[in-house]
Chain A
Amino acid sequence: MSTRIGVVTFPGTLDDRDALRAVRIAGAEPVSLWHRDKSLKQVDAVVLPGGFSYGDYLRAGAISRFSPIMELIIAGAKEGLPVLGICNGFQVLTESHLLPGAMLRNNHLHFICRDQKLRVENANTAWTCDYTAGDEISIPLKNIDGRYTADERTLDQLEAEGRVAFRYVGMNPNGSLRDIAGITNEAGNVVGLMPHPEHAVEPLVGTGRTDGLGFFTSILKRLISA
């Protein structure tokens, strides 16, 4: 049986097509999920893609967090369902409290869109096991609310438990605390990051590299070996 990976579309989502495509290129079966669906359609993992769900009204991710499909995803994630939140998806995960902290307006107040270098800090999660800790990858970054924030105690805990999954290398693009680009939950099944791996899976487009493909091959490997 093929491995089914769901990609959720909210009103205002932008990157669902690219995420579905990345899933397919990695060798899994992409499954479209709609925010009002009341079933996860037997998917083995879920991607919350980037965009501006619900127009970022109230706060980025604040309204999406209460959509019917999120009820199922939140319950599933607590039982071990692998979930990857990219950009707006990361914001949805922090608003859902599946990941700690919150995202704020970039410290320079500009929308940023560029290739961003990251260091993989944790290569043991469901979504990073095809990388090696210390790997430097370059994938696109595009957002205005990317400044990761949490209180000192939470940050210390994330560091101590190895839950900072990715850190920005070179210039910090948004003022995120401790250069954090992505984090994972305690169990390693939920990962969120601001940059976009799904835009860097084919040499023809994006960065011209395929540095983002590892997220999707990681989850495939993890699910097949499970």
Chain B
Amino acid sequence: MARVVVDVMLKPEILDPQGQAVQRALPRLGFDGISGVRQGKRFELEVEGPVDEAALTRIHTMAETFLANTVIEDFIVKVES
């Protein structure tokens, strides 16, 4: 079975206070040198059958209508080998 990964991230112009909170915690924990953190979501889809163009089109539609809210989020679809 093939795996397709959908990464969903807040659009760059959208404030991400959760990412900021993570970033602020880093120096306190001894992790220096990180100038920015943005938090997103990763979906791992186990696909039945071949990951052909038709399957990827369906997954793209799924990501656009459901996994991501394109008003605030961008997404990337990747096929894992």
Which residues of A are interface residues toward B (Cβ below 8 A)?
58-59, 62, 66, 94-95, 100-102, 104-109, 147, 149-151, 175
Question: What are 13 pairs between A and B in contact, CB < 8 Å?
Answer: A58-B66, A66-B66, A94-B71, A101-B71, A104-B14, A105-B18, A107-B17, A108-B17, A109-B18, A147-B15, A150-B71, A175-B15, A175-B17
Q: How far, in whole Å, are A148 and B21 apart by their CA atoms in the complex?
A: 20
Residue numbers in B under 8 Å from A150 (CB-CB): 71
Q: What is the 8 Å Cβ interface bit string for chain B, positions 48-81, against chain A (1 contact, 0 not)?
A: 0000000000000000001101011000000000
Q: How far, in whole Å, are A100 and B69 apart by their CA atoms in the complex?
A: 12
Q: How far, in whole Å, are A104 and B17 apart by their CA atoms in the complex?
A: 10
Which 7 residue pairs are nearest across A and B when measured between Cβ atoms?
Answer: A102-B71, A102-B72, A107-B17, A109-B17, A102-B69, A59-B69, A149-B72
CB distance from B54 to the nearest CB of A (A): 22
CB pair A107–B71 under 8 Å, yes or no, is no
Residue numbers in A under 8 Å from B72 (CB-CB): 102, 104, 149
Residue numbers in A under 8 Å from B66 (CB-CB): 58, 62, 66
CB pair B17–A62 under 8 Å, yes or no, is no
Q: How far, in whole Å, are A94 and B73 apart by their CA atoms in the complex?
A: 14
Residue numbers in A under 8 Å from B15 (CB-CB): 104, 107, 147, 175
The A-B contact count (CB < 8 A) is 33
CB pair B69–A95 under 8 Å, yes or no, is yes
Q: How far, in whole Å, are A147 and B15 apart by their CA atoms in the complex?
A: 10
Residue numbers in A under 8 Å from B71 (CB-CB): 94, 100-102, 149-151
CB distance from A1 to the nearest CB of B (A): 39
CB pair A149–B69 under 8 Å, yes or no, is no
Instruction: Give B67's nearest chain A residue, CB to CB.
Output: A58
Q: Which of A62, A109, A147, A151 contacts B69 (CB 8 A)?
A: A62
Q: How far, in whole Å, are A164 and B81 apart by their CA atoms in the complex?
A: 48
Q: How far, in whole Å, are A66 and B62 apart by their CA atoms in the complex?
A: 13
Most buried by A among B14, B15, B67, B69: B69
Residue numbers in B under 8 Å from A59 (CB-CB): 69
Q: What is the 8 Å Cβ interface bit string for chain B, positions 5-36, against chain A (1 contact, 0 not)?
A: 00000000011011001000000000000000
Answer whether A149 and B18 are a contact pair too, CB < 8 Å, given A59-B69, A102-B69, A102-B71.
no
